Structure 1
Amino acid sequence: MKLYIAEKPSLGRAIADVLPKPHKKQQGYIEVGNGDVVSWCIGHLLEQAEPDAYDDAYKKWRLEHLPIVPETWQLKKKPNTSKQLTVLRGLVKKATSLVHAGDPDREGQLLVDEVIEFLKTPAKKKNTAQRLLISDLNPAAVKKALNNLQPNSDYIPLSVSALARSRADWLYGMNMTRAYTLQGQKVGYQGVLSVGRVQTPILGLVVRRDIEIANFVSKPFYEVLAHLQTQQQETFTAKWKPSEACRPYMDEDGRALVKKLAENVVSRVQGKMGEVTKLEKKNKQQAAPLPYNLSSLQIDGAKRFGMSAQQVLDTCQALYERHKLITYPRSDSRYLPKEHYAHRGSVIKAIANTSSSLNQAAVNADQSLRSKAWNDGKVEAHHAIIPTEKSSNVDRLNSSEKNIYELVARQYLCQFYTAYEYADTVAEITIAGGLFIAKAKMTLKLGWKVLFPKSAASTNKQTDAEKELAAQLPTIKKGEQVLCQQAECIEKQTQPPKHFSDATLLAAMTGISRYVQDSDIRKILKDTDGLGTEATRAGIIELLFRRNFLVRNNKLILATDAGKGLINALPESATLPDMTAQWESVLDGISKKEASYQHFMGGLLQQLSGMIEQAKATLPDGLRGLSSGKPAGRKFKKKPAAKRSYKK
């Protein structure tokens, strides 16, 4: 008997649907017509044991116990899913061969592997297990995956990487949380001061941004606009570019800070003739945006519909599992395998049948085009999120599901539209020794942008000056004389950075290299996933809200006093993304056989010991007089993020 072990029931049912009939549905599994069986996990069936499993003394939180480091790691059954683990125990024992059908990522690999290991599966059965990789729950895609089973042993590095991350998160989070919670109690704070390798640097980003805004002092700066007329009586506007001689009166962004300087320029050029001293016109192209991965979809979902990262993820899961309208949503890739190109006609037809608003866009798609999205070299465990070949009645979808489906579908259709073409023109005009710049951008061919019409609201947000500067330049040539009919000095104020929103915080997490201090790490991070993973980011952000470290103010995300107090108490290295970036870099190396588990864990333990000693020597005075409203727990328990990943 062959036993298929899926990550969750919906995936198990999708596998069984394409296996021989008749089926017998049993408690926790399905028997198929040829005698094989399909069963499933329900997310993680196992979790890291609590510290008191290693020593009963650890039930009471004490500083002298820290750091707690298990000699032999233990997993325990999760109480709410232990019944399903018992079902799998009996099936694994009866099975002659196993098929691992976890989700196609590191966590999915570990999730099933740890069950097989925990059940003490005989070595021969374990070593001959096969791997089934499914990213699309529709029958045709599942059948294709079943015909392409691979040795599960090929994916051991993925599992080891996820295991290292799980154990490291336990060590770091449990020890640091106990240390700072106990120190917080000494200054009267009774809440749990949760610390994690990802959650804390995210909180640090928000805290530092809030402090920067609070301390920001706005300063005036000045721009000079010259309203010019050509010999053919056509008009356009150019902006003054201060010269190097003005450097002492400018800020680091090249803005003039002295009003008299700008007013002097106005008086010098007013009514004077100028000359077009340089003229550059270039025709350019912009390729269609790539299909979505989860983070880019969450960012657009926040921008377009005000959805949180968790809401987008939950909606994607419904579209994937319940409706089967999109492919695997927890993907970190924005590329597609080349063989997927052959299915474009069916996918486009499904979009046309499912979304009335995209029907014409699907009809107009040029299926002879092939964007750079199809690239086997960029696809690893899973590919970009795209629509499946299944059609559905849009009335079956709620508004969130419809919105997210259409985002995914529109992004896919972009791949079958030509590039956006435009002409960039830059003119330099010299007037009375001063340099003025005029720029224009003229659309030549909308291409894929026809799928993204600009709203009137976004157009109306432009100021009159911006609209004038963005206007098309008249036909001018180098050496031509122009008249400065009018010059004006415009006073503006420097603006503080904006508070984070769901969209910008996710963008910061995925583009974390911008916030990393070490240049070597920054260079590495440009090619990695950023802070956290596609599957965990939403859950980690929500954890910070539940811990009362973050609050929402309309669409803005702000740090609470407790959040600020914790960040100020921690060593700086714990609040910056540098450390977790280094972790992710090594964990990625483990999954590619470029780094070792032992080296990673050894370095972590050395670093953790130093941080615990620092915690013991520091009181979090910024938390005096504050209360989370929740009593500090006596047990440190990690709940699964997004139903299966440990909080970080």
Structure 2
Amino acid sequence: MFFFEKPSAMRQLQRLFKSPNTVCVAAEGHLLSAEEPGTVRADWKPWRFETLPIVLDAIPVRAGRNRSGQSHAPKLDAIRQALRGADRVVIATDPGREGSMIAWEVLEHLGWRGPIDRLKLGALDDLSIRRAFAAMAKEPDSGGRDYAAYLEALCRQYEDYHLGLNGTRAISLRLRPPAFREPWRFGGVQTPTLAILADLETRIRDFVPRDFFKVGLSIVTRGGAALELWHAPKDRIFDAGVAETVRAAAARWSGRLAVEQKDVRRPPPKLFSKDTLARRCAKRFGWDPQHTAKLAQELYDKGYLTYPRTESEHLPDSQKGDAAAVVAAVVSVLADCAPLVPAADALVVRSGLKGHYVRDPGEHHAIVPLRKVPSGAGLAPDLSRLWELVARSFLAAHMPDGIDARTTVSVEVDTPLGPRRFAVTGSVVRVPGWRAIYGAEADADADAVPGKAKRDDDATVARLPAVGDGDAAKAAGAEVATAVTEPPRRITRGELPVVMGRLIDQVDDPAAKRALENPANPNEPKGLGTAATRDTMLPKLMKSHYVALQKGKDPSIEVTEVGLAFLAAVRRVFPAYGDPVGRAMFEAELGEIGRAPTRAEAVRRAEAFRRRTRDRVGELIGAVAGSAVLDVAPGARPADGPSRPPTPAMLAYAVALAERKGLKLPRGLKGDSRICRTFLGQHGEPRPERPAGAAGGAGPRPPSPAMLRYAQNLARQLGTDCPDNVSEDFEACRRFLDAHAPGTPPRAAPAPRGKARAGRPRRGAAAAAGGDAPEAAF
């Protein structure tokens, strides 16, 4: 019995099977889902801190449901029936932990104890399928090794289940401030990912711009050629006096030019991993990483691309011989590339970590096209664009380097502070090489490190005048130009998976960098999560209102006050869960389960991991139990439902209050009535006690002092007097404000006291609190 992950993959192989004794089944994803705690024990259903920690030796499972809500029970029954007549099972799900788990969890649930082989299909074209069968035949213990991968995935699920369940309940019950209505969701990978974003958000918010200075030197040669050179040292000049000293010396300079001419080779970029492909598609097409992953999976299922859920950017040395055939297939579709690509015997094959082919690229190699190519109008537009992007990357990888002729003109100026170098560089394309495949887009594909400030580039010009080394020249003038330091860039939606996978690029501490290195595969350092799950983190963080997306083609991720408050609570109670580097180290240890040499060793490592998880959960609950509710600033934004702007009267009062008390308005107050209401509740004057005679409607109640003061100020601005009863009657004061406050719509006649108007929200200045107590804004 062959066990596939999807019917599409099953159909690709069924056409090759000739034996009538072969049975095929397809799972269509995970058929089992974890039971809710309340179905295991009734007292675990309500959220009560005294029932924590909730710990299970194994997660109970049941038949899950598909996206349409239909139960997977019939499919499980069909697989059970197929197993009854089988003497061997071949797992042919997608390669990787997730694919292994899809099959193994069903086989174990159904009690299969027969022999199992693992067929790893890196691609679904005929040649790749035959190679996969040959590899399986050479590995008699392929099933045992795959069981280790399954146990690693199972342990990840075990930790996610227990940490998410216990952490979310504990933190929400004990640490979450009352103003927050929704749960504070917690996760082993999700929370450290938030920490990366929150630390960057803090650096951006705390960033104070500083002026720095560049010195420009205009020179003219004896032959009349004019040039502008710049002194912009790596260690920026922040002292205006230093800049002026350098400028004055430069203005008196005369001497000879140093001209350096050299060819600069530009090799093609690396091939795509899942994360780098998502980043490129986000940058070029504005696609969400999950959309890119879905398209790549569909192209894999159709047999046009290799397996897409990979962390590698390299191919194995064994596939060097395939390059010519794949290139020929690709250019049969991309006809514009045919004249640009070298002949089959002249293709460039680069080996080593700086090239494209290595001895061991990891569990799965880079994403590349196959001999099978789409023809005609067989693909939807987005699928076609993605295939072409990957195909051009493969072509570029087998083309010659680009060569730029680069000329640098420099002079050395003696100053009272020592010699200072002034320079300018000009560069022209001498040999386009692989860049011919991309045309004008070639240079646009350079990717900066996410989360870092923009680098200062050397002064460059498109074309330099004809000057020679040693030509005499003198200064024609000098100037000081002022620039401003820039904060780090926010990480974008498309960059987040790359950041999680290459955490090493985000840390500056040398010890942390060394800890994140992977000596076995330097191109794949330790990171957070797996290639298959990284693009699911952002939707989870957004669902919890920890982050929000800004506008743009590839929008930047901004951490909200909720996210900052939640992370502060986690780090105060259990700092290890807010440490991305520590989590990456932990993930590397978890990966050792999947690399166990035998099934017995994998079982031993998995059980040790589960014990450790149970201990960590107990420590987390103990730490939360001894901690107090977090004190959150009024700018923290509650996450209960969509926000709406405060009313003009409410906002005007908040501004006046801040000016009078010398306070800073919280971030987001002008656009969110909840933040404004929290600020007013903390800093506004308390309402006066209602006279005894006013209780129960026996008489009018007066407005609050702040409400009356706002009405009097408004009257002065309008050049009129307040009505006589405004100072004594809250309702009269409210009517005056509703009628005259800027931007406030007229209010309908109030319903009799004690009778609500169904379906009519209250509006206007007096309803600024937006709820049951209209006077709360004042």
Query: Does 1:77 find its partner at 2:77?
Result: no
Equivalent of 1:403, from 381, 385, 389? 385
Once the two structures are TM-superposed, the CA of residue 573 in structure 1 deviates from its matched residue by 3.1
Once the two structures are TM-superposed, the CA of residue 5 in structure 1 deviates from its matched residue by 0.3
Once the two structures are TM-superposed, the CA of residue 545 in structure 1 deviates from its matched residue by 2.1
Matched with 1:302 is 282
Local SS of the residue matching 1:548: coil
Once the two structures are TM-superposed, the CA of residue 176 in structure 1 deviates from its matched residue by 0.8
Query: Does 1:330 find its partner at 2:328?
Result: no
Local SS of the residue matching 1:236: strand
Q: Within 1, Cα distance between the matches of 2:4 and 2:444?
A: 46
Quick check: 1:438–1:469 contact (8 Å CA) kept in 2? no
Matched with 1:615 is 624
Local SS of the residue matching 1:421: strand
Quick check: 1:521–1:581 contact (8 Å CA) kept in 2? no
The structure-2 alpha-carbon separation of the partners of 1:610 and 1:154, relative to structure 1 and needing over 3 Å to count, comes to closer
Once the two structures are TM-superposed, the CA of residue 283 in structure 1 deviates from its matched residue by 4.2
* TM-score, with structure 2 as normaliser: 0.71
Structure (1/2) with the larger strand percentage: 1
Quick check: 1:566–1:623 contact (8 Å CA) kept in 2? no
Q: Within 1, Cα distance between the matches of 2:311 and 2:199?
A: 28
Matched with 1:237 is 228
Cα deviations by residue, 1:297-349 (Å, 9 ceiling, x for unpaired): 0111111111111111112122222x432111111122223333333333223
Quick check: 1:566–1:622 contact (8 Å CA) kept in 2? no
Quick check: 2:261–2:405 contact (8 Å CA) kept in 1? yes
Matched with 2:432 is 446
Q: Within 1, Cα distance between the matches of 2:465 and 2:79?
A: 71
Q: Within 2, Cα distance between the matches of 1:63 and 1:615?
A: 10
Once the two structures are TM-superposed, the CA of residue 424 in structure 1 deviates from its matched residue by 5.4
Quick check: 1:223–1:491 contact (8 Å CA) kept in 2? yes
Q: Within 2, Cα distance between the matches of 1:394 and 1:210?
A: 47
Quick check: 2:176–2:184 contact (8 Å CA) kept in 1? no
The structure-2 alpha-carbon separation of the partners of 1:468 and 1:285, relative to structure 1 and needing over 3 Å to count, comes to closer
* TM-score, with structure 1 as normaliser: 0.84
RMSD (Å), alpha carbons:
3.2
Cα deviations by residue, 1:495-554 (Å, 9 ceiling, x for unpaired): 112222123323322221233577555324233352221111112212222333222221
Once the two structures are TM-superposed, the CA of residue 129 in structure 1 deviates from its matched residue by 1.2
Equivalent of 2:420, from 422, 428, 435? 435
Runs ≥4 residues deviating over 6 A: 363-366, 456-459
Quick check: 1:345–1:367 contact (8 Å CA) kept in 2? no
Larger radius of gyration: 2
Query: Does 1:582 find its partner at 2:564?
Result: no
Q: Within 2, Cα distance between the matches of 1:610 and 1:170?
A: 16
Quick check: 2:253–2:475 contact (8 Å CA) kept in 1? yes
Quick check: 2:347–2:399 contact (8 Å CA) kept in 1? no
Query: Does 1:36 find its partner at 2:38?
Result: no
Once the two structures are TM-superposed, the CA of residue 99 in structure 1 deviates from its matched residue by 0.3
Local SS of the residue matching 1:396: coil
Q: Within 2, Cα distance between the matches of 1:343 and 1:611?
A: 52
Local SS of the residue matching 1:288: coil
Q: Within 1, Cα distance between the matches of 2:384 and 2:339?
A: 17
Give unpaired runs (5+ residues) of structure 2: 66-70, 446-453, 519-524, 643-778
Query: Does 1:146 find its partner at 2:133?
Result: yes
Equivalent of 1:57, from 34, 43, 50? 43
Once the two structures are TM-superposed, the CA of residue 223 in structure 1 deviates from its matched residue by 0.5
Matched with 1:317 is 297
Local SS of the residue matching 1:503: coil
The structure-2 alpha-carbon separation of the partners of 1:494 and 1:600, relative to structure 1 and needing over 3 Å to count, comes to same
Q: Relative contact order, CA 8 A, sep 6+: which one is greater?
A: 1
Q: Within 1, Cα distance between the matches of 2:509 and 2:246?
A: 42
Quick check: 1:189–1:627 contact (8 Å CA) kept in 2? yes
Once the two structures are TM-superposed, the CA of residue 39 in structure 1 deviates from its matched residue by 0.5
Identity of aligned residues (%): 24
Local SS of the residue matching 1:274: strand
The structure-2 alpha-carbon separation of the partners of 1:181 and 1:83, relative to structure 1 and needing over 3 Å to count, comes to farther
Once the two structures are TM-superposed, the CA of residue 474 in structure 1 deviates from its matched residue by 5.1
Quick check: 2:392–2:437 contact (8 Å CA) kept in 1? yes
Q: Within 2, Cα distance between the matches of 1:300 and 1:260?
A: 44
Local SS of the residue matching 2:13: helix
Quick check: 2:176–2:629 contact (8 Å CA) kept in 1? no
Matched with 2:570 is 570
Matched with 2:522 is none
Cα deviations by residue, 1:577-623 (Å, 9 ceiling, x for unpaired): 12320222112222223893344444444443333223231313338
Matched with 2:332 is 353
Once the two structures are TM-superposed, the CA of residue 288 in structure 1 deviates from its matched residue by 2.1
Matched with 1:201 is 192
Quick check: 1:521–1:582 contact (8 Å CA) kept in 2? no
Matched with 1:419 is 401
The structure-2 alpha-carbon separation of the partners of 1:547 and 1:399, relative to structure 1 and needing over 3 Å to count, comes to farther
Q: Within 2, Cα distance between the matches of 1:365 and 1:201?
A: 48
Aligned AA (1:592): R
Local SS of the residue matching 1:57: helix
Once the two structures are TM-superposed, the CA of residue 381 in structure 1 deviates from its matched residue by 2.9
